[in-house]
């Protein structure tokens, strides 16, 4: 009986980690905060263990409790699920008394998870990155704009929040907000074109598996972009990176690219990579256990859930990956029913996979 423990500070990415873990462990336990409570209703969660601590401010008593739970429940592997839990394992993994998923060192997490520091790193390493500025307040930005006019459109975003929260496109000076509910403010030139994502599983600076894709409101399609892989490899080798790392990239119509931000952790669409044959949880655990070769993935294209549902009466129009994705959804009825309810209430956009 192989058993994993997922550290859960929320719901969205954490559910994907749970599903991927259930594909390679007999039982998956979740140690979660209140916001992760819905995971207890998933058929793939063997047991939900409430966590009263703060994953971003871990105390010795918290580590003692995690160590006790790993021993009591005979945990074979502890899995992170977000930036906070990845950093927890990076800093304190050797104190939890159980094997844990490969993660980078805490200093690397801090650099890559900060959009301002990541932009500076890209510039130092010669990776293409849009012009980026940092301001403490909107008043600072406005004063600076008067001295040195900014080129519109531009993007405003927080330095260290995920899921697209706080990101705003500003097309004209008149559209600049008076205030924002975060600080500092990262101001970045807008890159026209399409949005791409590239994720890699690494071992001591060597890429062992990769999954790149583009996503629209109608589909998610796997792609191969060698120039992105080449730039990413330089950064990964620079840090001798361990674990999962991903990049959000913009590609202009003429093919030029810009690295927008970095995600040194698991990500929202990792379950789609699993359907393509690349389960990053399984592969990372194999690396931790010293196993050798990793599998290749098939090329994949999946339409949005809303569009897939329109073809339920004509299943012959679905490709293999789309049929697998529908099976993936219906195998967990409690979570699927919740997502459908959120969609009906206008709080969940299925095509984009984002909570509103």
Does 269 fall in a domain?
A: yes
Out of 80, 101, 122, pick the residue that ends a domain: 101
Res. 305: pLDDT tops 70: no
If asked whether residues 236 and 312 sit together in one domain, one would say no
Out of 57, 86, 101, pick the residue that ends a domain: 101
Does 111 fall in a domain?
A: no
Reported as a pLDDT band with limits 50, 70 and 90, residue 354 is very low
The tens digit of pLDDT for each residue in 201-258 reads 999 999 999 999 998 777 788 899 999 999 999 999 999 999 999 999 999 999 999 9
The mean pLDDT of 180-186, rounded to a whole number, is 90
Reported as a pLDDT band with limits 50, 70 and 90, residue 1 is confident
Res. 148: pLDDT tops 90: no
The pTM (predicted TM-score) of the whole model is 0.87
Does 8 fall in a domain?
A: yes
Res. 347: pLDDT tops 60: no
If asked whether residues 199 and 298 sit together in one domain, one would say yes
Count of domains for the chain: 4
If asked whether residues 325 and 266 sit together in one domain, one would say no
If asked whether residues 199 and 276 sit together in one domain, one would say yes
Does 333 fall in a domain?
A: yes
If asked whether residues 321 and 338 sit together in one domain, one would say yes
Does 167 fall in a domain?
A: yes
Highest mean predicted confidence (pLDDT) among 165-179, 310-324, 329-343: 165-179
CATH number at residue 171: 3.30.1490
If asked whether residues 173 and 219 sit together in one domain, one would say no
Res. 267: pLDDT tops 90: yes
Q: Which domain holds residue 66?
A: 3-101
In this prediction, residue 166 carries a pLDDT of 82
The tens digit of pLDDT for each residue in 319-345 reads 666 777 778 888 898 888 887 666 555
CATH number at residue 46: 3.40.50.20
If asked whether residues 212 and 176 sit together in one domain, one would say no
- Compare 288 and 323 and report the one with higher pLDDT: 288
Does 58 fall in a domain?
A: yes
Out of 169, 189, 209, pick the residue that ends a domain: 189
If asked whether residues 97 and 64 sit together in one domain, one would say yes
User: Tokens in use for 35?
Assistant: 């916001």
If asked whether residues 217 and 292 sit together in one domain, one would say yes
Does 273 fall in a domain?
A: yes
Does 276 fall in a domain?
A: yes
């Amino acid at each position: 009986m192989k058993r994993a423990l997922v550290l859960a500070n929320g719901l969205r990415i954490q559910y994907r980690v749970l599903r991927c873990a259930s594909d390679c462990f007999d039982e998956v336990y979740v140690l979660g905060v209140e916001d992760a409570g819905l995971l207890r209703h998933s058929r793939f969660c063997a047991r939900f263990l409430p966590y009263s601590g703060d994953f971003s401010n871990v105390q010795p008593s918290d580590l003692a409790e995690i160590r006790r739970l790993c021993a009591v429940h005979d945990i074979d592997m502890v899995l992170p699920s977000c930036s906070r839990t990845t950093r927890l394992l990076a800093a304190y993994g050797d104190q939890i008394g159980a094997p844990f998923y490969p993660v980078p060192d805490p200093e690397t997490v801090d650099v890559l998870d900060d959009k301002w520091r990541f932009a500076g790193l890209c510039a130092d390493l010669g990776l293409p990155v849009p012009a980026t500025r940092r301001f403490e307040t909107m008043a600072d930005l406005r004063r600076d704009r008067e001295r040195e006019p900014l080129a519109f459109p531009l993007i405003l975003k927080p330095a260290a929040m995920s899921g697209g929260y706080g990101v705003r496109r500003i097309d004209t000076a008149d559209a600049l907000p008076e205030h924002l509910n975060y600080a500092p403010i990262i101001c970045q030139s807008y890159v026209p074109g399409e949005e791409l994502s590239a994720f890699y599983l690494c071992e001591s600076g060597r890429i062992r598996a990769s999954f790149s894709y583009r996503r629209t409101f109608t589909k998610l399609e796997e792609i191969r972009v060698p120039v992105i892989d080449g730039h990413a490899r330089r950064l990964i080798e620079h840090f001798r990176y361990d674990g999962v790392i991903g990049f959000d990239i913009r590609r202009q119509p003429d093919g030029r690219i810009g690295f927008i931000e970095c995600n040194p952790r698991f990500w929202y669409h990792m379950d789609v990579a699993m359907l393509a044959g690349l389960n990053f949880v399984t592969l990372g655990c194999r690396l931790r256990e010293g196993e050798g070769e990793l599998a290749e993935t098939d090329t994949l294209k999946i339409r949005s859930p809303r569009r897939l549902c329109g073809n339920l009466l004509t299943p012959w129009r679905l490709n293999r990956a789309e049929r697998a994705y529908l099976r993936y959804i219906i195998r967990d009825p409690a979570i699927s029913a919740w997502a459908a309810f959120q969609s009906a209430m206008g709080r969940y956009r299925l095509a984009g996979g984002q909570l509103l």
